[in-house]
């Protein structure tokens, strides 16, 4: 039914290209649109009106942020009019009009209509990771144009991380001349080869950084499109590149030598002084109210041994390393507040107690954001399950270049940021994040971003009651095609495969519903349906983080009880590989059969002839055949190859015939 609706809508728009086009194709979907009688040439003059009495009355009950972006677009037979309170609303209205004109064609017409529109949330953002792979300012200009078309209003730049520092800081020049460069162009190769930096200009120096002039141009370009740029300067974790350039900021071991983890030393006053100076220069460039300081995934191991960290904890009565991180975050919360700015961080900044003025970007699910808002802190929702668009969006067999997880357009669109909130006063909005570990090129990044950014834009702008996926998908196909005509490398929705076909079917077999005894335990990180997983007749989707894939950190060994003696002719299972995530294929399996559960006499050893691809995923059925052997108990073992980056086994079902 969904495909039929999309085809019908595409056919309708195809007719509009020579006849007329109207608000029914817009993304985001407008709050209100009315089709009037007649149509108008797309080239009619446009009259812009700000602050009229009638428009002020129309928006008087809206929150201020919504009123400022609200617009009224009227297309009449003799002219076109855009009304708004000021420049921001006029700009949003122009975006709608320009898209209608583009879709009408050179000789086409626009349906006479009236569109009254305003945003649902104040923060409608995208994050681009410049650290793992560096993309220059021209790329950012292009993506800002796309964001403007989608009425998104926040660009979050992840400027610093272990893999590279990407912003010029005059007070600490080696951040740009050394920490911004590495010996390998690809993050994956850098990750496998010691996480080293390189001197700028050396033969094996790959990377780059934004000069201050580059960054100012980006800010100005974004401002013209009414988009705020929020810089992220990571601390205290994800900071190995800083320690490579300035080892004096590292923790000390028992011999007084620097420890090169990803963590800065919160016990060192020099760290605080250094980052205050860095933030001073960042604030000179970026006028955003929020400055993002990261705060996520600090390892904290070195802090437990570092004499300076231990002294800091003792001096301030800090019971653990979470409290030590909280103490450090509070220093920068206060400092940014003294400069008229606000601290924004990933939800780990809540560990050990949240700084008074801090806002939270909730990524580890939704509960942290809900909790922070209930405590009176502003929140931006960015949960991985819906908003991490570096995850695979369709059939991954053809190639790699994505993080673990399957996140199709429909699932992104299904997200409602208000779910779970009793009070949405502190809910600022949502953001999509595009981490770039496996995304080395601009073309690849655009492929991952669009059309899923369309869905995020509509979630952030359009009232929940007006959203419908079937309707949206048809409009998304049209917009994706249009963006490709402008030179964007969007994912092709026309050829979308959807989830793994096997995951849509129940596979019936002799062991269905039978109990499983785990000789080696499954990983608590990837339990699937726990003890029921391997015999529940359900197979997994495209990715190992789907519910039906059960993970073993190392070899696996289980015993299935069929309940009574049956004739067994085949025992096997589907295994998944994804070397980017250290998930490998078994080198071999062993199957042993028994009638009493004690004496396993019949056995088969099967070597795996398949090799896991270096990029992308594979799905391999590996099993053993028998000549109708009577058995009640089946012992199934799978052994890893021992090769580097093959640390996990993932299996979705043990099939017995």
Q: How far apart are CA 427 and CA 429, in angstroms?
A: 6
Catalytic residue among 217, 297, 320, 561: 297
Largest CA distance in the chain: 90
- Reference 500, options 574, 601, 592, 433; nearest CA is 574
Q: How far apart are CA 99 and CA 655, in angstroms?
A: 53
Q: State whether residue 222 is helix, strand or coil.
A: helix
The catalytic residue among 24, 143, 161, 214 is 161
Whole-number Å distance between alpha carbons of 23 and 169: 46
- Beta-carbon neighbour count of residue 539 at 10 Å? 23
Q: Is 161 a catalytic residue?
A: yes
Instruction: Report d(CA 266, CA 99) in Å as an integer.
Output: 50
Residues 6+ apart with CB under 8 A from 360: 344, 345, 346, 347, 349, 350, 354, 368, 369, 372, 377, 378, 379, 380
Are 218 and 224 in contact, with CB atoms under 8 Å apart?
no
629 CB-near residues (< 8 Å, 6+ apart): 567, 568, 569, 593, 602
Choosing from 123, 133, 158, 238, the catalytic residue is 238
Burial label, 512 (beta-carbon count in 10 A; 0-12, 13-18, 19+): middle
CA 409 vs CA 354, 393, 414, 416, 571: distances in Å: 34, 7, 9, 14, 36
Checking DSSP bridges between strand 181-182 and strand 206-207, what pairing results, if any? Answer: antiparallel
Distance from C-alpha of 258 to C-alpha of 243, rounded to nearest angstrom:
9
**What six digits make up the tokens of 180?**
């911004």
Residue 636, phi then psi, degrees to nearest 5:
-120, 120
Does residue 451 contact residue 492 with C-beta atoms inside 8 Å?
no
Burial degree of 287 (CB within 10 A; 0-12, 13-18, 19+):
exposed
Instruction: Classify residue 277 by burial, with Cβ atoms within 10 Å: 0-12, 13-18, 19+.
Output: middle
d(CA 150, CA 289): 22
Rounded Cα distance between 374 and 352, Å, is 17
Count Cβ atoms below 10 Å from residue 619 Cβ, excluding itself. 17
Q: What distance in Å separates the CA atoms of residue 587 and residue 608, rounded to the nearest whole number?
A: 5
Task: For residue 444, indicate whether it is catalytic.
Answer: no
Question: Can you give the length of the chain in residues?
Answer: 657
In 3D, which of 244, 261, 260, 258 has the Cα closest to residue 181? Answer: 244
In the residue annotation, 238 being an active-site residue is answered as: yes
Active site residues: 161, 238, 297
């Amino acid at each position: 039914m969904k495909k039929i609706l999309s085809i019908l809508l595409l056919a309708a728009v195809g007719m509009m290209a020579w006849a007329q086009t109207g608000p029914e194709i817009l993304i985001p979907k407008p709050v209100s649109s009315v089709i009037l009688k007649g149509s108008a040439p797309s080239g009619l003059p446009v009259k812009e009106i700000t602050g009229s009495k009638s428009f002020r009355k129309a928006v008087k009950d809206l929150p201020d942020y919504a009123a400022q972006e609200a617009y009224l677009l009227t297309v009449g037979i003799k002219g076109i009019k855009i009304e708004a309170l000021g420049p921001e609303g006029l700009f949003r209205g122009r975006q709608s009009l320009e898209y209608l004109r583009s879709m009408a064609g050179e000789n086409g017409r626009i349906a006479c209509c009236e569109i009254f529109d305003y945003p649902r949330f104040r923060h409608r953002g995208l994050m681009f990771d410049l650290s793992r792979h560096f993309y220059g300012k021209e790329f950012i200009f292009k993506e800002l144009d796309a964001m403007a078309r989608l009425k998104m209003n926040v660009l979050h730049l992840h400027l610093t991380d272990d893999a590279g520092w990407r912003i010029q800081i005059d007070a600490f020049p080696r951040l740009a001349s050394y920490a911004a460069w590495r010996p390998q162009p690809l993050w994956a190769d850098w990750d496998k080869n010691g996480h080293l930096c390189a001197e700028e200009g050396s033969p094996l120096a790959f990377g780059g950084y934004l000069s201050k002039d580059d960054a100012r141009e980006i800010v100005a370009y974004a401002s013209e499109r009414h988009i705020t740029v929020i810089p992220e300067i990571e601390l205290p974790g994800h900071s190995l590149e800083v320690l490579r350039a300035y080892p004096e900021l590292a923790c000390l071991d028992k011999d007084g030598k620097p420890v090169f983890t990803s963590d800065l030393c919160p016990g060192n006053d020099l760290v605080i002084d250094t980052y205050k100076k860095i933030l001073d220069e960042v604030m000179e460039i970026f006028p955003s109210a929020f400055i993002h300081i990261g705060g996520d995934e600090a390892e904290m191991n070195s802090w437990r041994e570092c004499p300076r960290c231990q002294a800091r904890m003792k001096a301030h009565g800090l019971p653990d390393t979470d409290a030590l991180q909280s103490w450090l975050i509070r220093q920068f919360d206060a400092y940014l507040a003294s400069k008229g700015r606000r601290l924004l961080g990933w939800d780990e900044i809540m560990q050990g107690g949240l700084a008074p003025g801090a806002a939270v970007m909730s990524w580890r699910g939704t509960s942290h954001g809900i909790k922070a808002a209930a405590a009176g802190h502003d929140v931006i929702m960015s949960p991985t399950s819906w908003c991490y668009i570096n995850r695979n969006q369709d059939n991954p067999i053809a190639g790699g270049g994505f993080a673990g997880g399957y996140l199709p357009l429909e699932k992104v669109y299904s997200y409602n940021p208000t779910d779970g909130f009793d009070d949405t006063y502190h809910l600022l909005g949502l953001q999509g994040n595009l981490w770039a570990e496996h995304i080395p090129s601009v073309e690849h990044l655009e492929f991952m971003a669009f059309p899923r950014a369309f869905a995020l834009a509509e979630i952030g702008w359009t009232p929940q009651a007006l959203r419908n996926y079937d309707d949206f998908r048809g409009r998304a196909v049209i917009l994706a095609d249009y963006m490709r005509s402008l030179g964007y490398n969007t994912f092709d929705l026309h050829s979308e495969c959807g989830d793994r076909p096997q995951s849509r079917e129940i596979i019936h077999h002799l062991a269905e519903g039978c109990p499983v005894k785990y000789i080696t335990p499954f990983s608590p990180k990837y339990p699937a349906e726990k003890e029921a997983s391997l015999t529940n007749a359900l197979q997994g989707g495209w990715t190992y983080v789907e519910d039906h894939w059960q993970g073993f950190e190392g070899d696996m060994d289980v015993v299935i009880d069929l309940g009574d003696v049956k004739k067994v002719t085949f025992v096997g299972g589907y295994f998944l590989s994804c070397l980017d995530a250290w998930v490998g294929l078994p080198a071999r399996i062993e199957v042993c059969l028994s009638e009493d559960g004690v004496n396993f006499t019949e056995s088969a050893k099967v070597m795996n002839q398949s090799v896991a691809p270096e990029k992308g995923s594979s799905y391999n059925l590996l099993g053993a055949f028998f000549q109708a052997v009577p058995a009640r108990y089946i012992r199934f073992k799978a052994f890893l190859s021992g090769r580097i980056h093959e640390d996990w086994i993932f299996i979705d079902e043990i099939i017995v015939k």
